[in-house]
């Protein structure tokens, strides 16, 4: 589905991504691992249109998408989760979901609000959709809670929920497990598997928790120093000498 060819992203003279090439197969849950500073987040940001590449190419189903802005990628079904912005903290969990289709299509926040007020039927549709998403994620009880009041793990579920408000094809998840307790991490893992199996989502997941990666991901791609070091099953990658060396070297 996604092919990254010889991608570079330099910051001044520093090569954060240094000729990375990889593929993400349709229907996979691909894990991206590697020591801190390996270039994983930078690679995500380039694929998702947040950072222009220095050079190289990204294609989606054979079509070049290199450097397209996030809202153009959104229309193609390529989404990257992102943290709930400060200004949305005072809105309810449900409202945060209802805002997604308008926000990500490139409309300004104010347009979205005016449109929301003007079109009651659309509002009802979005509300029903949001409630369905919350039920899927087993957090219906949080619908009316202010987004700023929910826990870190619940916020991660909400971030995942946003991708369900639209027809996502591929979702890039950056460190879903960071600071999340085991129970919620399992809930997040279950939601990812169900979205993959029942709704055909493809995922690319950056994660440090190897248990989480082992449970969900095949294949796993390991990056170090801006390059792809190894790819295979979790076991293959974990036992790869170059991977072990890269982790020991940090």
Bridging pattern class, strands 2-11 and 14-24: antiparallel
Nearer to ligand ADP by Cβ, of 42 and 66: the residue is 42
Closest by CA to 73, choosing from 97, 95, 51, is 51
Residue 40 near ligand ADP by CB under 6 A: yes
Q: Which residues pair with 220 in a beta bridge?
A: 31, 232
Q: Which of 2, 7, 22, 41 binds ligand ADP (CB under 6 A)?
A: 41
- Judged by CB under 6 A, the chain residues 2 through 21 that form the site for ligand ADP are 11, 14, 16
Q: Which of 5, 8, 37, 140 binds ligand ADP (CB under 6 A)?
A: 37
Return d(Cα 108, Cα 123) in angstroms, integer.
17
Residue 114 near ligand ADP by CB under 6 A: no
Q: Which of 20, 22, 28, 39 binds ligand ADP (CB under 6 A)?
A: 39
- Phi and psi of 175, rounded to 5°? 50, 65
Cβ at position 15, least distance to ligand ADP in Å: 8
Nearer to ligand ADP by Cβ, of 97 and 246: the residue is 246
Residue 177 near ligand ADP by CB under 6 A: no
Copy the structure tokens of residue 83.
Answer: 């943290």
Per the listing, tokens 């087993």 go with 138
Residue 38 near ligand ADP by CB under 6 A: yes
Nearer to ligand ADP by Cβ, of 229 and 234: the residue is 229
Return d(Cα 126, Cα 21) in angstroms, integer.
39
72-93 residues labelled b (16+ CB within 10 A) or e (exposed): ebbeebbbbbeebeeebeebbb
Residue 191 burial (C-beta neighbours within 10 Å; 0-12, 13-18, 19+): buried
Cβ at position 140, least distance to ligand ADP in Å: 33
Cβ at position 83, least distance to ligand ADP in Å: 15
Residue 80 near ligand ADP by CB under 6 A: no
Considering only the stretches 19-27, 37-45, 181-189, 238-246, report the one whose residues sit in contact with ligand ADP under the rule CB under 6 A. Answer: 37-45
Name the site residues for ligand ADP (rule: CB under 6 A).
11, 14, 16, 34, 36-42
């Amino acid at each position: 589905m996604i092919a990254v060819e010889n991608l570079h992203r330099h910051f001044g003279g520093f090569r954060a991504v240094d000729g990375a090439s990889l593929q993400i197969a349709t229907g996979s849950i691909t894990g991206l691992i590697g020591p801190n500073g390996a270039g994983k987040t930078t690679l995500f940001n380039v694929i998702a249109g947040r950072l222009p590449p220095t050079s190289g190419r990204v294609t989606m189903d054979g079509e070049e998408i290199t450097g397209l802005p996030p809202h153009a990628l959104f229309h193609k079904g390529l989404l990257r989760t992102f943290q709930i912005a400060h200004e949305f903290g005072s809105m309810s969990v449900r409202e945060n979901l209802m805002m997604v289709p308008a926000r990500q299509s490139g409309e300004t926040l104010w347009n979205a609000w005016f449109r929301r007020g003007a079109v009651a039927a659309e509002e009802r549709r979005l509300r029903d959709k949001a409630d369905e998403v919350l039920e899927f994620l087993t957090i219906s009880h949080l619908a009316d809670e202010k987004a700023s009041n929910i826990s870190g793990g619940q916020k991660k579920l909400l971030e995942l929920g946003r991708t369900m408000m639209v027809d996502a094809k591929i979702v890039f998840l950056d460190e879903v497990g960071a600071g999340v307790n085991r129970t919620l991490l399992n809930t997040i893992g279950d939601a990812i598997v169900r979205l993959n199996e029942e709704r055909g989502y493809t995922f690319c997941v950056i994660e440090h928790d190897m248990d989480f990666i082992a449970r969900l991901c095949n294949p796993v791609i390991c990056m170090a120093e801006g390059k792809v070091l190894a790819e295979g099953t979790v076991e293959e990658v974990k036992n790869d000498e170059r991977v072990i060396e890269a982790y020991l070297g940090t």
